[in-house]
Structure 1
Amino acid sequence: MKLKVAFAASIVVLLPACATPQANQRAIAITVDDLPLHGPTPHGETAVSVAEGVISALTAEHVPAYGFINGHWTVDDPATAPVLTMWRAAGLPLANHGWSHRHLSEMTPVEFEQELVRNEPLLQAGSEDWHWFRYPFLDEGETAEKRAAARDVLARHGYKIASVTADFSDWAWTGPYQRCKDAGDTAAISKLEELYMQAARESIGYHRNLSQTVYGREIPYVLLLHVSPFEARILPRLLKLYREEGFRFATLEEVEADPAYHDQIDPKLSAEPQGLDHKAAAKQALPPRTDFQSVLDGMCKG
């Protein structure tokens, strides 16, 4: 998630993953943003090699996953274009993430509509249900009026909103990995892996806690990831972690059919606070999270 929220540096206690039928039915949908590439990439890696790694990890575990595209890459760097074909060839669907990944808060409603529609020719090339939209940076607008106007645009174009209810800012590992990999610092890369898995584990307990706080039950989750070089490297371990914690991998359609997503899946409805974090914050019940980014930002510099 690129929407930055200030959390105190504190360790979140994981809820126990009990081996019960209810725990085994815990569901999560994987979504992958910024196709065809979330850079920068280390020397020797390309958008295609990154996508091969991510796709291989998903298909090996039979994990359904929507990929959300920024079409500008296919013009700015045509070598990235095969990624979209590869994604579809693997049986994975694509959806809309805006042409150039712009903040909604920096655009007018007219510009937002242009960003949305400009992506559509790339999406129409497939047969999947591509009428899902993920806000870049999870930015739904700086005012209630901007948010309502954007939702009106989405409704007129037949879109559903792909909400996010689980994330651990996996994007923050992209830059440090590129620096450490190019520096040949294997010890630092091992540290990056350790921190990533720690963040993922803490996120599970954190979002389960928020779900209970907001809904009084455990909802099915939508996890936000990015198509980055580090994701390609570590995704098999992440998928294994979720299975060990009692999750099954579900489709985005199945998860967002849950009533918890009713205001998101249909943009014609009045918007509630965005995602679990904002809904918990509205209840003044947002717990602290560990600050990983301050450590990551200093790795492999100089």
Structure 2
Amino acid sequence: MIARRLLLAAALALGTAAAPAPQIALTFDDLPTHGPLPANTTRTAIAQQIIAALKDAHVRHVWGFVNGRGLEREPDTAGVLEAWRAAGFPLGNHGWSHLGLDQVDAPAFLEEVDRNAPLLSSLMKGQDWRWLRFPYLAEGRDPARQAVRAGLAERGYRIAGVTMSFGDFLWNDAYARCVATGDAAAITRLEESYLAAASETAKSSRQMAVTTLGHDIPHVLLMHLGAFDARMLPRLLAQYRREGVRFVTLEQATRDPFYAADLDPRRDPTPTLEARMAARGTPMMETTRYAPMLSGMCR
């Protein structure tokens, strides 16, 4: 009963006219290659579509997080990184080959980080690039977690944490299959569910912040440089605008005290919003599970 009251209070707090506008910093992972490539498009074309949508919506300084191995495997995707930089968007570190800290030990993980550094340094040309997005958002467990955080601090990195993700990558896989089968009706269902998932997740993330912190925070949204993201981004950004969202940069969002340990990895990591909810024994807002539907589409 108490948990339900807390959720109701959070919902009322978000709905009041006095509540501040929600703030979201968009970030994109897995540059320059993410997911399957549908027919009749290229990685660079996908990047250009996403950049155009961001520019048209006046969303600025959007960080893209790079896995250098993608460029090594597909050299023609250099145009993705060049286009991102030409747009004035910064690039950060996502590990050389997207290995999670749950998969390797601390020295191997830091080696992955270091292997990416020359590529980022050459692309950023003297500008700041020392932000790390943990692959799979996996920050590991002690003692590996503390060893990696200490290593990141020594290298001058900040951590690009995430407080909002609706699993956009799931739609990229399904979309490639539906393009291959020519199933227009299925693609329409993908479009509708993608937007619904984004809206649900925005409400859920904001509600978790209000419930556990007593107020909303600027959120960092995880997205991917995928073909369906490129198709949907203009509509997604328009939907966020209708929902009152104000777009901010990663740097602006992480000025909030919630992200203090991300800016200084020497500090103990901050519990996620989900972990805070679990520690309180408070149920999270119910959201639709789209993964089962998406995994079965256009098979």
Amino acid at match of 1:243: R
Equivalence for 1:10: none
Equivalence for 1:76: 73
Matches within 5 A, 1:116-127: 116-125=113-122, 126=124, 127=126
Match of 2:151 among 150, 153, 176: 153
Amino acid at match of 1:134: R
Q: Structure with the greater relative contact order (CA < 8 A, sep ≥ 6): 1 or 2? A: 1
Asked if 1:85 corresponds to 2:82, the answer is yes
TM normalised by structure 2 equals 0.91
Equivalence for 1:264: 262
TM normalised by structure 1 equals 0.90
> Which consecutive residues of structure 2, in runs of 5 or more, have no partner in the other structure?
1-9
Contact 1:41–1:229 at 8 Å: present in 2 too? yes
Equivalence for 1:28: 24
Separation in structure 1 between the aligned mates of residue 58 and residue 283 of structure 2, nearest angstrom? 34
1:297 alignment partner, SS class: helix
Amino acid at match of 1:47: R
**Greater fraction helix:** 2
Asked if 1:103 corresponds to 2:100, the answer is yes
Separation in structure 2 between the aligned mates of residue 169 and residue 282 of structure 1, nearest angstrom? 24
Q: 1:20 Cα deviation (Å)?
A: 4.5
Equivalence for 2:132: 133
What does the per-residue CA deviation read over 1:188-213, in whole Å, with 9 as the maximum and x for residues that have no partner? Answer: 00000011011011111101110111
> Which consecutive residues of structure 1, in runs of 5 or more, have no partner in the other structure?
1-13
1:105 alignment partner, SS class: coil
Equivalence for 2:6: none
Contact 1:35–1:70 at 8 Å: present in 2 too? yes
Separation in structure 2 between the aligned mates of residue 98 and residue 284 of structure 1, nearest angstrom? 34
Amino acid at match of 1:241: Q
RMSD: 1.8
Asked if 1:44 corresponds to 2:40, the answer is yes
Matches within 5 A, 1:100-249: 100-125=97-122, 126=124, 127-141=126-140, 143-249=141-247
Contact 1:33–1:69 at 8 Å: present in 2 too? yes
Equivalence for 2:64: 67
Separation in structure 2 between the aligned mates of residue 22 and residue 61 of structure 1, nearest angstrom? 24
Contact 2:29–2:225 at 8 Å: present in 1 too? yes
Aligned residues: 286
